[in-house]
Amino acid sequence: MAARLANSVVTISTTIEEDFGGGRGVGTGVVLTSDGQILTNAHVVEDASEVVVRFAGETEPRVAKILASDLGNDLALLKIDATGLVAATFAKPGSVQIGDAVIAIGYALALDGGPTVTSGIVSALKRTIETDSGALNSLIQTDAAISSGNSGGPLVNLKGEVVGINTAVARGDSTSAANNIGFSISVDEVLIVVEQLRKQASGVVRDDGFLGVGLAAREDGGQGAIITDVQADSPADKAGILIDDVVLAVDGEPIDGQAGLVAAIRDAEPGQTVKIEILRDGKRLTFEATLIARSE
């Protein structure tokens, strides 16, 4: 698998200029098209004044242009001047299962030589984590080792198909410990966002979906997010959602907390009708809300 993907994975180096000096960053990218489109994490190229990529076996970097970036979904589309590249093959949406064997490929810690390859399994699906830019949902959890520099690289199955884009690793704190818990943006989400990035690159402005509710986390150990406010005449209000309702799922996607609901609504488009599963007075109810565009 490493040999098959060798020509479709690149190291990404960035130059960042700030008021109090600059710095450099390193990440990984995946070749999308033979004519030079490359996918990586948005946080890899965030605030970069210069981006270059280098293929395994090459000595010289190639200048890359950021075509479009979506920090909320942590994906960015780059372009280099090239032809005849070997594009990675992506797995079919919905094909990933818990327990599948997977391999993470990327330029971990910017080590010399080719990319680092680590193996593991799909530990869980549809995870949600909070990030500096909000929340990421529909994530694949894996025990394949993911380190700094792996960001933006592929998680692949044993057919050599990309099932996710590696984005983050869980870290312990003063009250918890984390080992072998990494996260990848699932192919289901990646393929949708890639098309949105391409439209964005061509000048189409994308508006986030808006439901019109205030939220709070459950503190009783239960699943879901609590509705604390419903704006008048908002999609939530028109759908019949009430204060103190507990949102359990959106379009079948489980909601484990505030971040999950925010991410699910953000990823939907204005005009889209979503099915929202609610727990109210011990009963499960389903409402349909037609989202509108979020106003600034």
Per-residue pLDDT of 261-296, as tens digits, reads: 988 898 888 999 999 999 999 999 999 999 998 765
Average per-residue pLDDT for the chain: 90
**224 and 148 within one domain:** no
CATH of the domain at 35: 2.40.10.120
- What is the pLDDT, as a whole number, of residue 56? 86
Among 69, 138, 151, 234, which one carries the catalytic annotation? 151
Task: Kindly state whether residue 87 falls inside one of the protein's structural domains.
Answer: no
**107 and 183 within one domain:** yes
Residue range 136-147: mean pLDDT, rounded:
90
CATH of the domain at 154: 2.40.10.10
- The domain boundary, picked from 47, 80, 113, lies at 80
Written as six digits, the tokens of 243 are 């204060």
Range of the domain at 236: 209-293
**43 and 23 within one domain:** yes
Written as six digits, the tokens of 266 are 């953000």
Confidence bin at 2 (pLDDT 50/70/90) = confident
**65 and 22 within one domain:** yes
Q: Regarding predicted confidence, which is higher, 150 or 163?
A: 163
Confidence bin at 3 (pLDDT 50/70/90) = confident
- What is the pLDDT, as a whole number, of residue 281? 94
- What is the pLDDT, as a whole number, of residue 122? 97
**197 and 225 within one domain:** no
Residues near 185 by beta carbon (within 8 Å), at least 6 away in sequence? 73, 74, 75, 136, 138, 139, 140, 164, 165, 167, 193
**181 and 241 within one domain:** no
- What is the pLDDT, as a whole number, of residue 280? 95
pTM comes to: 0.85
Confidence bin at 30 (pLDDT 50/70/90) = very high
Helix or strand run (H / E) with residue 23:
strand 21-31
Residue range 229-256: mean pLDDT, rounded:
93
- What is the pLDDT, as a whole number, of residue 33? 97
Separation of first and last alpha carbons in the chain: 46
User: Is 74 noted as a catalytic residue in this protein?
Assistant: yes
DSSP H stretches of helix in the chain: 2-5, 42-45, 187-201, 235-239, 258-267
The yes-or-no verdict on residue 185 having pLDDT over 90 is yes
Residue range 145-160: mean pLDDT, rounded:
91
Confidence bin at 260 (pLDDT 50/70/90) = confident
Task: Kindly state whether residue 88 falls inside one of the protein's structural domains.
Answer: no
Q: Regarding predicted confidence, which is higher, 109 or 69?
A: 69
* Total of domains in the chain: 3
**188 and 160 within one domain:** yes
Confidence bin at 175 (pLDDT 50/70/90) = low
**251 and 166 within one domain:** no
- The domain boundary, picked from 201, 224, 248, lies at 201
Task: Kindly state whether residue 231 falls inside one of the protein's structural domains.
Answer: yes
**107 and 72 within one domain:** no
User: Is 43 noted as a catalytic residue in this protein?
Assistant: yes
- What is the pLDDT, as a whole number, of residue 176? 56
Task: Kindly state whether residue 91 falls inside one of the protein's structural domains.
Answer: no
Share of residues in the chain with pLDDT > 70 (%): 94
* Sign of CA pseudo-dihedral 250, 254, 260, 264: negative
C-alpha span between 163 and 78 (Å, rounded)? 20
Task: Kindly state whether residue 61 falls inside one of the protein's structural domains.
Answer: yes
- What is the pLDDT, as a whole number, of residue 169? 76
**117 and 167 within one domain:** yes
* DSSP designation for 295: P
β-strand partners of 210 = 292
C-alpha distances (whole Å) from 88 to each of 118, 162, 194 are 18, 7, 14
CATH of the domain at 251: 2.30.42.10
Residue range 184-194: mean pLDDT, rounded:
95
Written as six digits, the tokens of 60 are 């010289």
Task: Kindly state whether residue 70 falls inside one of the protein's structural domains.
Answer: yes
**214 and 143 within one domain:** no
The yes-or-no verdict on residue 177 having pLDDT over 70 is no
**75 and 34 within one domain:** yes
The yes-or-no verdict on residue 112 having pLDDT over 80 is no
Residue range 253-260: mean pLDDT, rounded:
84
Task: Kindly state whether residue 278 falls inside one of the protein's structural domains.
Answer: yes
Written as six digits, the tokens of 27 are 């990440």
Task: Kindly state whether residue 34 falls inside one of the protein's structural domains.
Answer: yes
Three-class DSSP category at 6 = helix
- What is the pLDDT, as a whole number, of residue 178? 64
Among 8, 13, 43, 143, which one carries the catalytic annotation? 43
The yes-or-no verdict on residue 20 having pLDDT over 70 is no
The yes-or-no verdict on residue 85 having pLDDT over 60 is yes
Written as six digits, the tokens of 232 are 């008048």
Among 74, 188, 245, 256, which one carries the catalytic annotation? 74
- The domain boundary, picked from 178, 201, 224, lies at 201
